[in-house]
């Protein structure tokens, strides 16, 4: 199941953006966002990366990417 989900994630992260970049199949889904959303996205990404780093720092050797 883990390999299946990883493959699906690869399709979503790599495959669909490549289809959008090199074909016109997804042109129906294009729309404009307000310019302030760029700053909001950068801020949310920075907060998420900081939280991820903080988790690793706090948990140290107890952190594991798997539930085992």
pLDDT(68) > 70: no
Which whole number is the average pLDDT over 33-53?
95
Q: State the number of CA atoms in the 13 A half-sphere of 5 facing the CB.
A: 2
pLDDT(5) > 80: yes
pLDDT score of 16: 92
pTM of the model: 0.52
Q: How many angstroms separate the CA atoms of 38 and 34, rounded? A: 8
pLDDT(66) > 80: no
Tally the residues of the chain.
68
Got the DSSP string for 16-48? HHHHHHH-STTGGG-----THHHHHHHHHHHHH
The more confident residue out of 65 and 21 is 21
Instruction: Tell me if 20 sits within 8 A of 26, measured CB to CB.
Output: yes
């Amino acid at each position: 199941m883990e390999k299946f989900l990883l493959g699906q994630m690869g399709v979503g992260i790599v495959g669909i953006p490549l289809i959008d970049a090199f074909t016109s199949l997804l042109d129906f889904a294009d729309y404009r966002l307000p310019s302030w959303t760029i700053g909001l996205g950068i801020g949310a990404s920075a907060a998420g990366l900081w939280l991820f780093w903080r988790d690793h720092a706090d948990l140290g050797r107890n952190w594991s990417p798997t539930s085992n």
